[in-house]
């Protein structure tokens, strides 16, 4: 039996290999191009740059570390009904002692069309180059066990594994944004990743393919008239093969009084706090905080395991930090001169 014990352990925890999930972020809406290609260029401004860092499982194994970065820009900004977004997204994931790795760089394109004064439709496409790898020499093999103890100096007699391989990956998505008034906006999207379902090639004995992944997401922004308080309920449903997860939660936003799009060329200073719930192999509570200041947005979240796996992890899951910089357009009212709500605020 050609079993790599540490790889199997990594798969059970991180769900990144056969019959499993891709990398994920708790702050799913702060990685917009990873969430849905149609989000490319869907923001108020000319350029946007973001980075994220996540670490987890440090209490039970070598920490799993995920990093990402993205850049996107909006074109046809003077056209009120049609816009184009172009972007680039990078992410890297390292898991466990064998450093099971995934690195990918993708180009992203999106087109948005204003259908009516209240409804905006978006479509996006993504293509990328991906590489998967693992550290063969840190792996533990069944041949190195004599029935009682493990001997790292024993030969594994394993020779049929590729240390890395690469493939071309594709994704597509669409979205719908509904804004009937200044105080309400709702955005919904669906995306399909790994359209070509690439093969796993760590070994010639592996016949599996990477499952296609379906993502459905939604966020609503509710502003209270003449109040600094607003609400942001959101959820994401992710399914890949037999595995699925649901993230759902609510953020409370507090906007600094006297600082708004009506009175300043910069976006308002906003502090947000909230909680999310994630369901997969474990139930996880996510506490999050966010600060928007000038052109910068800083987000911090921490996952707490509240299921039986919490006994092994001491209820600690993962820490996540993200930073987003947006080169905002000059002061924009929430309703343009033509009476069309500004969807790209």
The three-state secondary structure class of 32 is helix
DSSP 3-state assignment of 87?
A: strand
List the domain boundaries for the chain. Answer: 5-142+161-327
How far are the Cα atoms of 37, 120, 268, 318 from residue 192, in angstroms, in the given order? 9, 20, 34, 26
- Cβ 66 vs Cβ 100: under 8 Å: no
* pLDDT bucket at 225, cuts 50 / 70 / 90: confident
- pLDDT tens, residue by residue, 49-68: 999 999 876 666 677 889 99
Instruction: Pick 220 or 16 by higher pLDDT.
Output: 220
Asked if residue 307 has pLDDT above 60, the reply is yes
**Per-residue pLDDT tens over the stretch 108-136:** 999 999 998 899 999 999 999 998 877 66
Using a 10 angstrom Cβ sphere, with 0-12 exposed, 13-18 middle and 19 or more buried, the burial of residue 227 is exposed
At 252 the pLDDT is 93
Mean pLDDT of the chain: 78
| Per-residue confidence (pLDDT) for residue 87, from 0 to 100 | 96
CB 240 within 8 A of CB 223: no
Cα(272)–Cα(253) distance, integer angstroms: 4
Whose tokens are 């998967």? That residue is 132
At 229-250, the pLDDT tens digits run: 999 999 999 999 888 889 999 9
pLDDT band at 7 (very low <50, low <70, confident <90, very high): very low
For residue 176, is pLDDT > 80? yes
pLDDT at 73: 94
Which pLDDT score is estimated for 293? 84
At residue 303, does pLDDT exceed 90? no
Count the alpha carbons within 13 Å of 23 in the hemisphere toward its beta carbon.
27
- Give pLDDT tens digits for 64-75: 889 999 999 998
CATH number for the domain formed by residue range(s) 5-142+161-327: 2.40.160.40
């Amino acid at each position: 039996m050609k079993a790599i014990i540490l790889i199997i352990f990594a798969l059970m925890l991180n769900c990144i290999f056969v019959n499993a999930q891709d990398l994920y972020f708790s702050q799913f809406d702060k990685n917009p191009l990873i969430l849905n290609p149609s989000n490319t260029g869907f923001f108020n401004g000319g350029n946007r740059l973001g980075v994220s860092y996540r670490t987890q499982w440090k209490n039970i194994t070598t920490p799993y570390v995920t990093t990402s970065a993205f850049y996107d820009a909006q074109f046809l900004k003077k056209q009120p009904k049609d816009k184009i977004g172009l972007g680039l997204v990078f992410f890297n994931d390292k898991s466990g002692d064998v450093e099971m790795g995934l690195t990918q760089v993708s180009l992203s394109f999106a087109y948005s069309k204003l259908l009516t004064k209240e409804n905006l439709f978006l479509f996006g496409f993504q293509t990328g180059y991906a590489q998967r790898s693992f550290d063969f020499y840190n792996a533990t093999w069944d041949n190195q066990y004599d029935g009682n103890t493990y001997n790292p100096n024993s030969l594994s007699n394993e020779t049929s594994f590729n240390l890395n391989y690469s493939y071309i990956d594709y994704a597509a998505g669409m979205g719908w944004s509904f804004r009937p008034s200044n105080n309400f906006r709702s955005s919904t999207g669906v995306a399909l990743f790994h359209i070509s379902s690439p093969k796993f090639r760590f070994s010639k004995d592996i016949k599996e393919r990477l499952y296609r992944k379906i993502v459905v997401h939604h966020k609503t922004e509710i502003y209270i008239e003449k109040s600094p308080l607003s609400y942001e309920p959101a959820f994401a449903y992710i399914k890949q093969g037999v595995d699925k997860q649901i993230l759902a939660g609510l953020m409370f936003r507090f906007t600094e009084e006297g600082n708004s799009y009506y009175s300043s060329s910069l976006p308002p200073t906003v502090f947000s706090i909230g909680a999310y719930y994630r369901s997969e192999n474990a139930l996880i509570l996510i506490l999050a905080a966010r600060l928007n200041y000038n052109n910068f947005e800083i987000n911090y979240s921490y996952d707490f395991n509240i299921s039986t796996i919490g006994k092994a992890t001491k209820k600690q899951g993962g820490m996540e930090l993200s930073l987003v910089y947006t080169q905002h357009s000059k002061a924009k009212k929430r309703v343009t001169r033509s009476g069309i709500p500004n969807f790209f605020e």
